[in-house]
Amino acid sequence: MLASVAAVALLAPPASAQQAAQSPKAEEAKAAPPGATLLDKILVLSRTGETAIESLASASHIDQEQLDRRMATTPNEMLLGVPGIAAQADARRVGTSINIRGLQDFGRVAVIVDGARQNFQRSDHGTQSTVYIDPELVKSVDVIRGPVANTYGSGAIGGVVFFDTKDAEDFLKPNETWAGSVTGRYESNGKGWTTSASGAYRFNENWDALGNIVYRNYDDYKDGDGDAVKGTGFDVLSGLLKTTIRPTDNSALKLGWVGSSDGWNEISGGAPVNDVDLKSNTFTARYNVTDEDKSWLDLHINTSYNKTNLDLTSLVPLKRFDPVTGLSVVLPTGSTSTFDVGTTSIDIWNTSRFETAGVAHELTYGGDWAGDNVKTDGTAGGDSFYTPSGKRNVSGAYVQDKLTWDWLEVIAGLRYDNYSLKDDTHQTSGDRVSPRVTVGVSPFESAGLAGVQFYGTYAEGYRSPSLTETLISGNHPAGVSFPFLPNPNLRPETGKTTEFGVNYKQNDILEAGDAVRIKAAYFNNNVDDYIDGVTLSPFDPTSGCPFGPGIPICFQYQNFAKAKINGFEMEGVYDASWGYAGLSASIINGHTISYEGDQADLATIPSSQVTAQLGLRFLEDKLTVGGEVQYNGKPKGNAVAKNYTLVNAFASYQATDNLKVDFRADNLFDVKYANPLNGSTTVAVYEPGITLKLAATMRFGG
């Protein structure tokens, strides 16, 4: 059917340059400043209405046009080419752990969907803290790198990733009461299908609603050598419901639900051993009210509840070690493990804008609270010990003032954090005040240099230990037996980042209406009391590791004196009537330092990357074709990683107002490669080889 739709699209007479699902808001963004680029788009994540190019921080924005071009199947594909960010999505694919500047897992990166923190965590040999949000439901992604994002919640010493889902006003045209669309997509590698249907309705000018449902079904994909990678197939059903109510001209209430139901098989020794069922539901309520001029009142109140349930059912008899005695036992087929994580949160802030003595102020102040409730259980043995049950509460309050005077901009802020966590036998807590100071200068007035802005930042962030890091216990459940030891004396991590950057924007360079935007930064992050897993020996009397059955070691999360991470990032784009060209790069190095002064490579350091993009526009912008080339450099000390280069190609054709066809080829030269974040000392999970994607979208409305 899809091939027929594509053929109709190619034969149909072109009628408009707008996308099939083009919205009034998107049309404004295209028509607004001449020479506007992606870096000129306002960051949803920003609490002062900044664009990425205006931000005195390492910030990136991915809009709907880019997301459509990437034809992403999983969250990590949405983040292609964003400097300083990587994703760990192993063979399961439905769970993605996001890495910013070499930091990931246990809340070091705050992953937020429509204002709701995604805190699901399950300890395993692959990804730890994972999120799944279907790319079809997302209209934009914002990224802020580093602890400068300390107004967005506790613990984000690595940074923040904010997924903003679609609204009815992004879908409905100004004169429409209702609209719908249907998308069908086929992928050659894994022979997978994606089907998506959307519907929006405008009840009146102050009330609208949107619904979206997406189903994906994929077989195991093949790597660059043509070998099937077992356990990579999955099917997932996702959905979105959202309504926006505007009680007055200056207020809006958004109520939303995002959910998914996923299924896949876990593989061990080349054979399926567990059937996995995962259900995730996120409920959000967001209210904003302002005064007429957005001067003293710009109040936001966000509340959310996120619940993730993961159930494992064994497909074969399981050899396990009793979590208490460490003795070998055999569990029958059908044994289960359950992981239930619920997160409740509230976030309130206000921004007041005023002037004193010619200095403009944007004063932002607020507070937030999030509570995690983790329940693990089952008959499969061990799972509930190394992903322990318990409760954790984190809260904070902050004040930040952005002062602007002519060529000088200063941002000063303080954040107070508090945490507590407990289970039936342990309880721990802590608090801290973290500062942030940023100074930006625009020293030049000449036409060619007026768009140059330099900035320097010092910022701190505070991450409490997670339930797993603090309370993990029992014996390793399979393979070999050894004990996990809890550590209720873990100290929180403190990230201390120094960053120097430059922003540059200029219009009308080579032709009228063209634009160039560049952001670049060097950063140095010292994470004091960094937490990582270590192996202990029972022969060391100070280790607390007991002798027992199995191999003579213990595993425990402990503090290191610090982790030192530094690097360079840049992101640039040139946009003109004929097309665009982009270049991004990130170089990251890092290691841990013990209290005795011993250094070790940090296993979460991703590949250094350089990504080049080129897009050409034809037929009055109805047709866009282009490609991407990305070089990935082997991280220091990674035993399985290698240097590799990927080449992708894409094309998009807007056949009519209501019909659009997209094509994409990923890994065009069929390179066999592994994500270094997925590697251990002996095993690599190879990523997909060449993958061809073809999609068609039909839209209708009235």
How many Cβ atoms sit within 10 Å of the Cβ of residue 200? 26
Looking at the chain, the whole-number percentage of residues with pLDDT higher than 70 is 91
pLDDT at 232 (0 to 100) = 86
Q: Return mean pLDDT, the chain.
A: 88
pLDDT tens across 430-444, in order? 999 999 999 999 999
User: 693 pLDDT band (50/70/90 cuts)?
Assistant: very high
pLDDT at 34 (0 to 100) = 43
pLDDT at 680 (0 to 100) = 53
Residues 170 and 110: beta-carbon distance below 8 Å: no
CA geometry: angle 193, 196, 200, nearest 5 deg? 175
Judge whether residue 27 has pLDDT over 50.
Answer: no
pLDDT at 683 (0 to 100) = 64
End-to-end Cα spacing for the chain: 25
Out of 42-51, 148-157, 326-335, 679-688, least confident range:
679-688
Judge whether residue 449 has pLDDT over 50.
Answer: yes
Judge whether residue 4 has pLDDT over 50.
Answer: no
User: 33 pLDDT band (50/70/90 cuts)?
Assistant: very low
In the structure encoding, which two tokens stand for residue 530, read together? Answer: 């960094």
pLDDT tens across 275-285, in order? 889 899 999 99
pLDDT at 26 (0 to 100) = 37
Tokens 């400043």 correspond to what residue? 33
Tokens 């080829």 correspond to what residue? 665
CA geometry: angle 503, 504, 505, nearest 5 deg? 130
Mean pLDDT of 349-371: 95
Mean pLDDT of 298-309: 95
Q: Give the neighbor-by-neighbor strand order of the sheet with 116-117.
A: 58-62, 138-145, 159-165, 109-113, 116-117
User: 15 pLDDT band (50/70/90 cuts)?
Assistant: very low
Mean pLDDT of 236-257: 96
666 closest CA partner among 223, 199, 106, 284 = 223
Looking at the chain, the whole-number percentage of residues with pLDDT higher than 90 is 64
Tokens 């070690």 correspond to what residue? 321
What DSSP string describes 81-97?
T-TTEEEE--TT-S-BE
Judge whether residue 309 has pLDDT over 70.
Answer: yes
Judge whether residue 28 has pLDDT over 70.
Answer: no
User: 385 pLDDT band (50/70/90 cuts)?
Assistant: low
Mean pLDDT of 564-569: 97
User: 19 pLDDT band (50/70/90 cuts)?
Assistant: very low
Scanning 33-154, the segments in alpha helix (DSSP H) are 64-70, 75-78
Domains of the chain with bracketed CATH: 38-701 (2.40.170.20)
pLDDT at 136 (0 to 100) = 94
